[in-house]
Structure 1
Amino acid sequence: MTSDSHPPTRGESLPFTGPKRTVATVTAMRIEPLTFPAPGGGALVSSNARGGTAGTTLRSGRPGVPGRPSPAAAPAAGLSLLDSLAARTADLSCLADVLIDCVQGGASVGWVKAPTKEQATAWWSAFLADPDHRTWVGRDDAGRIVATASLALTSKANGAHRAEVVKLLVHRQARGNKFAPGLMATIERFAKAERLSLLTLDTETGSLAESLYRRWGWSEVGAIPGFAKVAGGALVSTTIFYKQLGAR
């Protein structure tokens, strides 16, 4: 359980809340950028014919940030962009299932109790429409989204060099397949390509996630007591981390 991110943790496995489908053991991890059309910005320009992202650009439409380049293509080869309405609809359902499962498993990530499918879908729709958000997903062998992580860019001119990692979520049935470190590595490569020099995040103090971030090279700033409320009404501490990616 974390306050805003949720790498793999121990816990009972619950099925997806949507249509039943077994989550297969992942033999080839797929991580790709997930971008929906957003009013006033965030519209994708076409991917290449082979389904990769080389040469793909994104119109950011982010006022107040002079000089920021458009986001670079995803760093790893073989990543594909989602460009069909059917895929987007199915992916929203999967993202809602992942969110619900993680909250049911003890992650607060903004909720004290698990949202309904409708609430989770509406939340993802609004989140993905924000032109300051960049989201990546990991899929199982059936092509179903089972993991996701996002980067929240800063719209303020004096913060164009930094971003926050948010909503690192892995469905409990898909844990142990290295989705969390894969997503984090993908975000860091993207951030470096965007000439971002500072990333931040927060997680529940004492959680497994806290130890994982240290293992992945993140530095602790400190803990804020009583930061987030969890099921049952208790208030838990949150630990703030940062990672410097190099001089801008």
Structure 2
Amino acid sequence: MMIKELNSVDTYMDNLVELLVLTVEEGASIGFLPPMLETEAKEYWESVLKPEVNLYVAMMNDKIVGSIQLHLCPKPNGKHRAEIAKLMTHPHFRRKGIARLLMEKAEERAKNEGCSLVVLDTREGDESNFLYASLGYYEAGKIPYYAMSANGELHSTVFYYKALF
């Protein structure tokens, strides 16, 4: 497996669309609800890359099996922090350490950018909560009724942080 930073999504658009659609269909709380159309996923990926966004993908046999984004804070009082966003693992490749490798790569980039703090949020009760705790993230708090699932149920989100020094 290889972790690669993407500076363009064009070459990998089909893989990225598949990853996002399948991840959303499996119920991941990453800002979208099923059913997700491929056109919607393509529009999303076309809008992702910006100067403050670093996009990494995990690849196996030239296929994208996971992705993560590191959002650097462009504000003068936030140059020391970054946010992890949209951590996804292809449903057929879960439980193989891909999410952990992507998290480590994002943290490494944050350190290289001079960040001393990384933050993220995730739906309470998701398996990702265990991953973040195992990587040394601390729970900062919860907001109830934050995210809606496909059946209309409202869920709490948990905010995490990790100091990188």
Matching residue's letter, 2:64: I
1:228 aligns with 2:156: no
Question: What SS does the aligned partner of 2:161 have?
Answer: strand
Question: What SS does the aligned partner of 2:159 have?
Answer: strand
Q: Which residue of 2 aligns with 1:33?
A: 5
Q: Percent identity over the alignment?
A: 36
- Show CA shifts across 1:192-241 (max 9, x none): 11110000000111111111111111000011100001111110000000
Matching residue's letter, 1:168: L
Equivalent of 2:83 in 148, 164, 183: 164
Shift of 1:179: 0.9
Counterpart Cα distance in 2 of 1:151 and 1:215? 19
Ranges in structure 1 where 5+ consecutive residues have no aligned partner: 1-28, 37-87
User: Greater relative contact order (Cα 8 A, min sep 6): structure 1 or 2?
Assistant: 1
Question: What SS does the aligned partner of 1:180 have?
Answer: helix
> Where is the strand percentage greater, Structure 1 or Structure 2?
2
Equivalent of 1:98 in 19, 22, 44: 19
4+ residue runs of structure 1 moved beyond 3 angstroms?
A: none
> Where is the helix percentage greater, Structure 1 or Structure 2?
2
Equivalent of 2:58 in 138, 152, 155: 138
* 1:146-157 matched pairs, under 5 angstroms: 146-157=65-76
Question: What SS does the aligned partner of 2:101 have?
Answer: helix
- Show CA shifts across 1:37-75 (max 9, x none): xxxxxxxxxxxxxxxxxxxxxxxxxxxxxxxxxxxxxxx
1:182 aligns with 2:101: yes
Q: Which protein is bigger by CA-based radius of gyration?
A: 1
- Show CA shifts across 1:94-126 (max 9, x none): 111101111110113111223211110111010
Q: Which residue of 1 aligns with 2:117?
A: 198
Counterpart Cα distance in 2 of 1:167 and 1:200? 13
Ranges in structure 2 where 5+ consecutive residues have no aligned partner: none
- Show CA shifts across 1:6-41 (max 9, x none): xxxxxxxxxxxxxxxxxxxxxxx10011112xxxxx
* 1:25-104 matched pairs, under 5 angstroms: 29-36=1-8, 88-104=9-25
Please, what TM-score do these two structures have when normalized by structure 1?
Answer: 0.65
Q: Which residue of 2 aligns with 1:25?
A: none
Counterpart Cα distance in 2 of 1:177 and 1:211? 15
